Amino acid sequence: MEMEGVENGWQKKWQFRGNEELNTASISVRGALTMLMKNLRNPAGDDQRPTIMLGRGDPTEFRSFWTTPAAVDAVADALHSFKFNSYCPTGGVIPARRYVLSVLARPGANILLPRPGYPQYEARAAFDHLEVRHFDLLPEKGWEVDLDSVESLADHNTAAMVIINPSNPCGNVFTSQHLKKIAETANKLGIFVISDEVYGHLAFGSNPFVPMGKFSSIVPVITLGSVSKAWIVPGWKLGWIVKNDPNGIFEKTGIVETLNNYLDITTDPATFIQGAIPQMFERTKDVFFSNIIGLLREAADLLYEMVKEIPCLTCPNKPQGSMVVLVKLNLSSLEDIDDDIQFCLKLAKEESVIVLPVLEDGFKRIKAFHQRHAKKL
């Protein structure tokens, strides 16, 4: 596309412009938080209460959620070994690849994403000019996938469907029976499943976490994993892609070849972080994970009960995993608030409440906020 501008008094045509499709689609968690932070009350005013974050999956500022010393030692040892200062070879450093087999699915004409879901997928699809179609998650069924909507959306150009388990943002964990039904539906449609399991170690409810790879004999599965959530180190930026494909379908369809070509042009996580993976996996004690899960379960229980005290909010299902939960906003009970974005902006401005870990005081402020904006009956 060409754009015209004035340079030294004459018209000049510029042959570039921003990606408007990406700008429209790129509604990220960071972008939303930035917008809300800009809307905080005037810190010089009378209200000197600290800002409470009620919506960010990064609890690292709280000591109880610090990562295990075993992970820190592993990174330090990798650095001191002087073995991981070089460029990263394609696909990752060899010691790390012994623990995670990385493969990447090719983009197709369209892809099926969950609604509600993680907004980064839409942004990534827009960047790749990949059409997105949304299937529903059903709150009345514990946020299960609406498999009928999946079948109605898919066509001969559909490549894959994405599931997030445990879910961000719903907080549910799929049962093994439902995962099998997802696999059977995908098999029927001739598509593969991309299973985002970055919260796989953080299931704390009645449904145990079951990896989608268990059903890879029914349908090929690409699993996304990360140390960010399980070890509480989101800043380390290390994740992986695992192929679950005992029938060799990805090989036959050229997915593996495409991956090898793609890896040659992608950036890699820091080599010393990759080099720390074996030691992290071997030396992290189970008690670290159980302590984190215990804290999350306690926080989820508290959140679920406190939401009940705020008439404009409803939590359809008690959280069972991840670090997030989705609540329903009843706009009909509020005055001068038209949508969820306006609710969040006003809440930030009036109560300085934005995100998650400090639950009790935060929900007290939301309750006061509701009372101030409640419709007069």
Residue 117 to residue 149: CA distance in whole angstroms:
15
Residue 125 to residue 26: CA distance in whole angstroms:
10
Provide the pLDDT for residue 27: 54
C-beta of residue 173 within 8 angstroms of C-beta of residue 137: no
- List the alpha helices (DSSP H) in 238-376: 249-252, 255-263, 271-283, 286-307, 340-351, 359-373
Residue 355 to residue 347: CA distance in whole angstroms:
11
Domain ranges across the chain: 26-68+286-376, 85-283
Provide the pLDDT for residue 223: 92
Which of 195, 214, 173, 198 is CA-nearest to residue 321?
173
Rounded to 5 degrees, φ, ψ at 326 are: -105, 130
C-beta of residue 209 within 8 angstroms of C-beta of residue 166: yes
User: What does each of the 377 residues of the chain score in pLDDT, given as a tens digit?
Assistant: 444 555 555 555 666 665 565 555 545 666 667 777 777 766 555 667 777 666 666 777 777 778 888 888 888 888 888 787 766 665 565 444 444 363 333 455 688 999 888 877 877 777 677 888 999 999 999 999 999 999 999 998 898 999 999 998 899 999 999 999 999 999 999 999 999 999 999 999 999 999 999 999 999 999 989 888 889 888 888 888 888 999 999 888 887 777 667 666 666 778 888 888 899 999 999 999 999 999 999 989 998 999 999 888 889 899 999 988 888 888 888 888 888 878 888 888 888 887 332 344 455 556 666 677 777 76
CATH of domain 85-283: 3.40.640.10
Which of 241, 40, 50 is CA-nearest to residue 160?
241
Provide the pLDDT for residue 264: 66
Buried residues in 86-105 as b, exposed as e (16+ CB within 10 A): eebeebbbebbeeebebbbb
Residue 153: partners with Cβ closer than 8 Å, 6 or more residues away: 112, 133, 134, 135
**Scanning the structure block, which residue is given the tokens 């005037």?**
42
Residue 18: partners with Cβ closer than 8 Å, 6 or more residues away: none
CATH of domain 26-68+286-376: 3.90.1150.10
